[in-house]
């Protein structure tokens, strides 16, 4: 794995007290913002794309109403929610970039379909999945919790 390093010192002339700190290889806020847009638009249009793009892996889990859906069952859950049309509006989110190759996201907003409108909250934990196609960084969804009110 490639990484660049930066030397930090505690202002001591003693070279044994220097630490090597790797520079970040990604902008977590940018990755999270792109993920949110991609996730909700793909959920509404073609959830199978998540498997094809390897965003949802066999170990990826979503929890809804105390039931955990994993891997392909995750996709089945997404499709069941989208059966009667699906639209997300008034979405707001908070992002925590842990700096250790994980990004945490909390999204709140309104969800609607032909049966009505409700409020939702959804959390995501994204994990860095390595490099692909040269320097392109790859991310996967590890876990999600979905709450519909």
Give the integer Cα–Cα distance in Å for 58 and 125. 15
Identify whether 47 is part of a domain: yes
Identify whether 19 is part of a domain: no
Identify whether 6 is part of a domain: no
Considering the entire predicted model, what is its pTM? 0.77
Q: What digits encode the pLDDT tens for the residues 59-70?
A: 999 999 999 999
Cα–Cα distances in angstroms (integers) from residue 109 to residues 10, 69, 89, 118, in the given order: 45, 22, 6, 9
Give the pair of three-digit tokens for residue 3. Answer: 């990484």
Identify whether 13 is part of a domain: no
Q: Which domain holds residue 87?
A: 27-148
Give ∠ CA 126-129-135 in degrees, rounded to 5.
Answer: 120
Domain of 117: which CATH number? 3.10.450.50
* CA 142 remoteness from chain centre: 8
DSSP state of 40: H
Q: Is the pLDDT of residue 125 over 70?
A: yes
> In total, how many domains does the chain have?
1
Identify whether 16 is part of a domain: no
């Amino acid at each position: 794995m490639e990484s660049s390093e930066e030397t930090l010192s505690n202002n001591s002339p003693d070279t044994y007290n220097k630490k090597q700190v790797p520079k970040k290889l990604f902008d977590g806020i940018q990755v999270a913002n792109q993920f949110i847009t991609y996730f909700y638009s793909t959920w509404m249009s073609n959830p199978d794309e998540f498997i094809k793009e390897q965003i949802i892996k066999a170990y990826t889990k979503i929890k809804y109403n105390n039931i955990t859906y994993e891997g392909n069952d995750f996709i089945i859950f997404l499709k069941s929610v989208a059966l009667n049309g699906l639209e997300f509006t008034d979405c707001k989110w908070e992002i925590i970039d842990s700096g250790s190759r994980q990004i945490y996201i909390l999204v709140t907003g309104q969800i609607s379909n032909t049966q009505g409108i409700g409020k939702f909250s959804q959390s995501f934990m994204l994990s860095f999945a390595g490099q692909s196609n040269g320097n392109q960084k790859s991310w996967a969804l590890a876990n999600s919790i979905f709450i519909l009110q």
